[in-house]
Amino acid sequence: MCHQTVGLIAGALERRGIATTSVTVLREVTGKVRTPRALAVSYALGYPLGKPGDAALQTRILRAAFALLDAPGPPPVLVDFTAT
């Protein structure tokens, strides 16, 4: 899905009181759109959760993305994921 579209939809949901979080592989686009909360990962387009079949990594990414819901400060919150 288009990073810009996801960011704009997330912003619209947030304005209606629904908290959102997302995972992005295009940090620059996500930053420009000012997506409310996003986790930036360094994987290829189409693989935002990393290598297929790596359940441990995918779980860490999803937990890190959901943790952004408790991040301090007003949106936008854009955090880089570290695989270590």
Q: Grade residue 1 by pLDDT with cuts at 50, 70 and 90.
A: low
What pLDDT shows up at residue 44?
92
pLDDT at res. 81? 97
- 53 sits in the region (left: phi over 0; alpha: psi -120 to 50; else beta) called left
pTM of the model: 0.90
**Greatest Cα-to-Cα distance within the chain, rounded to the nearest angstrom:** 36
7-22 mean pLDDT = 94
Q: pLDDT by residue (tens digit) across 30-81? A: 999 999 999 999 999 999 999 999 999 999 999 999 999 998 778 899 999 9
